[in-house]
Every structure is written in C-alpha cells, then in structure tokens.
C-alpha cells in the first residue's frame, strides 16, 4: 500500500496552509482534493480566473492566489480530481480517481474538509430555481455565470450580503434581500460587540455592503418569516410574511443561505468524537488547541473543526501542519511553538468576532425544527417532515432509528442534506435542548462507489 508521512484532505485555506507549513518543516506530505485546482470553495478557480472577475469578487478572494502560490512552491505533493470514499482510525484512506478505487496509508492525516451550507427545509425548497447562495457563488467564481432575469436572496448570514454586493457589481437585478434573522438577535448579540470590535474589519465590511446595496435601490425586508417558494414545475415566486402582512415577489431564482456548519462526514466516518456546539447549532469534532482529534494521528483544521472563516482556517491549517511535523519528529516542541506563535495570536484576534456573528445571524428556532408536515426533508428519498414525526412518535427516538425506518438519509448524498434537519426534529419532538445522538452514523463509502470499482480495488501505486 502506498505510504505517506502526512496526507491532507481538502485544498481550501486550511489544507493549503497545512501542506505548505508541514512541507516547509521537512514532512513528506500529499494533499488530496476533489477539485481540479487548489483553492477549495472560498478560493475556487483563483489560478485561472480573469482579472476583471477577480476584482469584482474582492480583495479577500484575491488573497487566495497568494496562498495557492505558497502551496505550489512547496514540496508538498498534490492529487486533484480525487474523491475520498473512506477514512478509518488506522490512517487507511480510500480514494476514487479516474474511475478507479484504491487505498493508501498515512502516518498522520489532517482533515481539512471545510464547511457546508446548513440545509434547512422549507416549503418549495426542492423546486428548480431554488438554490443555495454558495452554489450561486461557485457559478460566479468558476464560470462567470450570473442570473439573467434577477433573483431574490433569503436567509440569515453574512454571505447573503457579500453575494448580493458581488451580483450588484456584476449588474444583476436583485429583487429583494429577505433577512430571516429573528429581531431579538441584535439585542442578544450586543454583549459580544465590544470584543467583536477588536476584529472590526468584518463589521465595517458588512455595513459597507449593506449601505452600497441600499444606495443602489435593493429592497431589504428584515424579520421575515414563513418563507415559501411557489411554482408548479419551477420557481415562479417567493411568498413570505413581513410584519403583519404577507408579501409575494415574482422571481425565477431564489438563493438561500442559513449559515454554515462543519462538513463532518470524514471525521465521523473515522470515528472521531464529536460534541454539540450550542452556539453554532451543529455537531462538530472534539479537537485540542493544535487540531488533534480524539484519534491518534488524525487532526482536523479549519471550518471542518469549528466555523471560523477563511482567515482563521489558514492559521489553523498552519498550526496543524506544525503539529504534524512535531509528531513526526521533524520539529521539537519548542521549534513547533516558536513557528506557531504568530499564527496562534492572529487566529485568536480573528476569532473575536465569531460570538457576535453567531448570535446576530442565528436562524430562527421554528425554521430549524418545525417544518410543516408536507415539507420534504430528505430530498433523495423524498421523505417529508410528517413521516419523520410519525416515526418519532412511534418510538424511534434518534436520527439513526428514523433513518432505518424511513430510509431518510440513505440516498446519494448519504444524509448531507437531511442529517442536521432530522436531528433537530428529533430533539424538538422529544423536548430536549440538544440532539440526543450525533446525527447519522457515517459508514463507508461516504461518496458513491460502484460495485465494479470496489471489486477492482487495488492499493494505490499497484499495477492493475
């Protein structure tokens, strides 16, 4: 079996920084990435994007090119267009590349899988014409595609403002921005404001986006509830409640965003311990200050461990890289600590704003755990909330029991789109404050793998 000292999974900010810092410290390492080029979701296509589009996306995106260049100039190996279908506690990694499945082994593994948008079911969310804001931004970054006939953005989170600002700069018609954050969030967030002001660039940036959008005539609706996507074969309009009145906006496209949560499928598949984060409303892996998980030899860096954003992810990746170099005997503890000192300080400064943002953009509880009975929760198997409630009331008291009974979470996405929602439903119906189990149990293959590919499995590096 092909052997590596260190394998890094994911080519976003954390993965790139981890690979560069580990290679710089003398570690033989390999970065594995699903994408065709480094950068992850946040810095997607940064090597090939036209200058005009890069300028439109802003300086935060443009910084990604510097990070990618640092990685390319390092001695780290790179395996793009590669999907992972397994990771176990012994450092055995199952990959799928060019249609062939194989296995490799690493002395240490850094999971840098990043975040995913929080899927929240609401009436009509499965209609063609309803997408996530992240998907819209991917199309803009990778292909320069923007909506032709305008759109509505809805949800809660700073990405809505960023994407709206980028679309406005690109000449896209924005019919409205529907802010679904509960009105009381601002008052609950105020105690965190003094600390957040130490990372004031994020707050100032958001205020600037909002001011420029309003000056451009974009309509803002705050405190929106009861969101419906309406249409027969595709989206025709968005209906919602604003104050005491119901409103309707005709639109062919609705982009939604309700914050992000760690993409924890790999860490759960490996068997790492996870805990419920009440502030971020998700299960996330248990890690120490260096990113080490509960399993020896497996660490988790960046948003895959805890949501902190791209800047914090870069610093967390470097810390994980230096820690791996220490664990592999390339750096002494003092050398590791000295190399990591600045990154540790910068990351702490950057994270000061997180409690404020998490409280300000916290989604409404009713949206998280009280979808209507006819609302589809599992898109793959077309299971609605009523079916899930019936299973819970019949005595199936955790997400996995619901999965066994209803097939919710057994489709091609392997539960990525319904795991959190089902667990929220279970918790609410049983009257507990947090979920009673850490979501679905994740087993390989965590990505689709054919029987033929599994039957022809070989160890990476072997001749077929």
Q: Is residue 189 part of a domain?
A: yes
Q: Is residue 244 part of a domain?
A: yes
Give the number of domains in the chain: 3
Same domain, 277 and 238: no
Give the model's pLDDT for residue 437.
Answer: 60
Same domain, 123 and 254: yes
Same domain, 310 and 384: no
| DSSP assignment letter at 235 | -
Q: Count CA atoms closer than 13 A to 389's CA, side-chain side.
A: 14
Residue with tokens 């198997």: 381
Same domain, 54 and 77: yes
Q: What is the DSSP string of 184-221?
A: THHHHHGGGHHHHGGGHHHHHHHHHHHHHHHHTT--EE
Q: Which of 199, 165, 192 is nearest to 311 (CA)?
A: 199
Same domain, 86 and 149: no
Same domain, 248 and 298: no
Cβ neighbours of 227 (radius 10 Å): 22
Same domain, 32 and 14: yes
- List the chain pLDDT tens, one digit each, 464 residues: 799 999 999 999 999 999 999 999 999 999 999 999 999 999 999 999 999 999 989 899 999 999 999 999 999 999 999 999 999 999 999 999 999 999 999 999 999 999 999 999 999 999 999 999 999 999 999 999 999 999 999 999 999 999 999 999 999 999 999 999 998 999 999 999 999 998 888 999 999 999 999 999 999 999 999 999 999 999 999 999 998 999 999 999 999 999 999 999 999 999 999 998 888 888 899 999 999 999 999 999 999 999 999 999 999 999 999 999 999 999 999 999 999 999 999 999 999 999 999 999 999 988 888 899 999 999 999 999 999 999 999 998 888 899 999 999 888 888 888 998 998 898 888 887 666 666 888 889 988 889 899 888 865 555 54
d(CA 178, CA 219): 9
Q: What is the crossing angle of helices 419-430 and 385-393, to 10°?
A: 50
Q: What is the DSSP string of 95-153?
A: EEETTEEEEEEEEEEEE---EEE-----TTTTSTTEEEHHHHHHHHHHH----SS-EEE
SS3 label, residue 347: helix
Same domain, 387 and 419: yes
Q: Is residue 348 part of a domain?
A: no
Give the model's pLDDT for residue 230.
Answer: 97
Point out the domain boundary residue: 227, 258, 289.
Answer: 258
Same domain, 162 and 57: no
User: Two tokens at 413?
Assistant: 């996405």
Interstrand relation of 100-111 and 225-230 (parallel, antiparallel or unpaired)? unpaired
Q: Which range of residues forms the domain containing residue 200?
A: 119-258
Interstrand relation of 298-300 and 100-111 (parallel, antiparallel or unpaired)? parallel
Same domain, 266 and 295: yes
φ/ψ of 311, rounded to 5, equals -65, -50
Q: Is residue 357 part of a domain?
A: no
Point out the domain boundary residue: 207, 234, 258.
Answer: 258
Same domain, 7 and 72: yes
- Could you check whether the bond before residue 445 is cis, i.e. omega within 30 degrees of 0? yes
Give the model's pLDDT for residue 164.
Answer: 96
Point out the domain boundary residue: 207, 239, 258.
Answer: 258
Q: Which residues, at least 6 apart from 63, have a Cβ–Cβ distance to it below 8 Å? A: 43
Q: Is residue 198 part of a domain?
A: yes
Residue 257, strand partner residues: 155
Same domain, 133 and 253: yes
Give the model's pLDDT for residue 1.
Answer: 76
CATH code of the domain in which 160 resides: 3.50.50.60
Give the model's pLDDT for residue 464.
Answer: 46
CATH code of the domain in which 427 resides: 1.10.10.1100
Q: Is residue 336 part of a domain?
A: no
Q: Is residue 359 part of a domain?
A: no
| DSSP assignment letter at 304 | G
Residue 390, strand partner residues: none
Q: Is residue 110 part of a domain?
A: yes
């Amino acid at each position: 079996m092909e052997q590596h000292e260190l394998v890094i999974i994911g080519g976003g900010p954390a993965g790139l920084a981890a690979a560069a810092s580990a290679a710089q410290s003398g570690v033989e390492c390999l970065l594995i990435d699903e994408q065709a080029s480094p950068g992850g979701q946040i810095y997607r296509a940064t090597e090939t994007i036209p200058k005009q589009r890069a300028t439109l996306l802003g300086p935060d995106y443009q910084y990604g090119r510097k990070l990618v260049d640092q990685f390319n100039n390092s001695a780290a190996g790179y395996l793009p267009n590669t999907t992972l279908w397994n990771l176990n506690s012994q450092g055995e990694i199952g990959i799928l590349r060019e249609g062939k499945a194989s296995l490799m082994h690493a002395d240490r593994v850094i999971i840098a899988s990043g975040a995913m948008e929080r899927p929240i079911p609401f009436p009509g969310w499965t209609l063609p014409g309803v997408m996530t804001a992240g998907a819209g931004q991917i199309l803009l970054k990778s292909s320069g595609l923007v909506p032709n006939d305008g759109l509505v953005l809805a949800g809660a989170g700073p990405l809505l403002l960023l994407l709206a600002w980028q679309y406005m700069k690109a000449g896209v018609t924005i019919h409205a921005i529907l802010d679904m954050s509960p009105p009381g969030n601002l008052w609950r967030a105020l105690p965190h404001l003094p600390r957040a002001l130490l990372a004031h660039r994020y707050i100032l940036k958001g205020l600037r986006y909002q001011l420029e959008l309003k000056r451009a005539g974009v309509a803002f609706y705050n405190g929106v509830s009861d969101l419906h996507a309406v249409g027969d074969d595709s989206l025709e309009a968005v209906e919602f409640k604003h104050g005491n009145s119901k409103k309707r906006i005709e639109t062919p496209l609705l982009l939604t965003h309700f914050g992000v949560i760690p993409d924890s499928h790999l860490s759960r598949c490996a068997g790492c311990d996870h805990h419920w984060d009440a502030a971020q409303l998700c299960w996330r892996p248990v890690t120490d200050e260096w990113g080490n998980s509960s399993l020896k030899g497996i660490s988790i860096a960046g948003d895959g461990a805890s949501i902190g954003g791209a800047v914090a992810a870069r610093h967390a990746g470097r810390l994980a890289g230096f820690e791996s170099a220490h664990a592999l005997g390339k750096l002494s503890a003092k050398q590791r600590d000295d190399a990591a000192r600045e990154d540790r300080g910068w990351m702490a400064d950057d994270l000061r704003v997180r409690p404020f943002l998490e409280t300000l953009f916290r989604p409404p509880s009713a949206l998280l755990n009280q979808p209507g009975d006819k609302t589809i929760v599992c898109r793959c198997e077309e299971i609605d909330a009523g079916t899930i409630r019936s299973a819970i009331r019949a005595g199936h008291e955790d997400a996995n029991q619901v999965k066994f009974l209803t097939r919710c979470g057994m489709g091609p996405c392997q539960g990525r789109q319904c795991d959190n929602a089902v667990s929220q439903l279970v918790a609410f119906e049983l009257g507990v404050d947090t979920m009673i189990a850490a979501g679905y149990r994740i087993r390989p293959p965590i990505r689709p793998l054919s029987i033929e590919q599994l039957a022809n499995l070989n160890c990476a590096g072997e001749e077929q």
